[in-house]
Structure 1
Amino acid sequence: MKPDIHPDYHEVTIILADGTEYKTRSCYGKPGDTIKLDIDPHTHPAWTGVQRIMDTGGRVAKFNKKFGGLGNLGAKK
């Protein structure tokens, strides 16, 4: 194995969105650094299975106003 080609693997602290902390080893940053996660397995819909639509600046409402009737094109009256 060649010397000096591997990154430094050291201990860092991970802080989840809910404030939970744990230590792990990583190549990120320097020894003792902290990584704060805004999205983590306890809150992200990909892991929780709970979907929610965040309407930023009325974009969802604007989309529904523009395209809301398209879903009923094939429905019989």
Structure 2
Amino acid sequence: MKSGIHPEYHEITVIMTDGSQFTTRSCYGKPGDTLRLDVDPKSHPAWTGVQRMLDTGGQVAKFNKRFAGLGSRKQG
């Protein structure tokens, strides 16, 4: 390995959404920093199989309004 070109690799604490935590090594932050996860394998629909539709800031409503008539044909 070349010296001086690689980021510092150190231990950090990762806190999952349910409050459980573990220590791992990472290039994130400084030694001893804490990383709080918003989404992890215990809460993400891809792993849990539970789907939730979150309308953040009305984005889904905006999409539905914009493309409401996309599939309908005009008769004429």
Fold-level match, TM-score > 0.5?
yes
The RMSD of aligned alpha carbons is 2.5
SS of 2:46's equivalent in the other structure is helix
Aligned-pair CA distance for 1:50: 1.0
Aligned length: 72
Deviation per residue, 1:1-48 (Å, 9 max, x gap): 321111110000000111010000000000000000011110010111
Whole-Å separation in 2 of the counterparts to 1:55 and 1:6: 40
Identity %: 69
SS of 1:46's equivalent in the other structure is helix
Residue identity in the other structure for 2:21:
E
Query: How does the TM-score come out when normalised to structure 1?
Result: 0.70
Q: Which residue of 1 aligns with 2:18?
A: 18
Q: Gaps (5+ residues) in structure 1?
A: none
SS of 1:25's equivalent in the other structure is strand
Runs of 4+ in 1 over 2 A off after TM superposition: 54-68
SS of 2:13's equivalent in the other structure is strand
Query: How does the TM-score come out when normalised to structure 2?
Result: 0.70
Q: Gaps (5+ residues) in structure 2?
A: none
Whole-Å separation in 1 of the counterparts to 2:3 and 2:56: 51
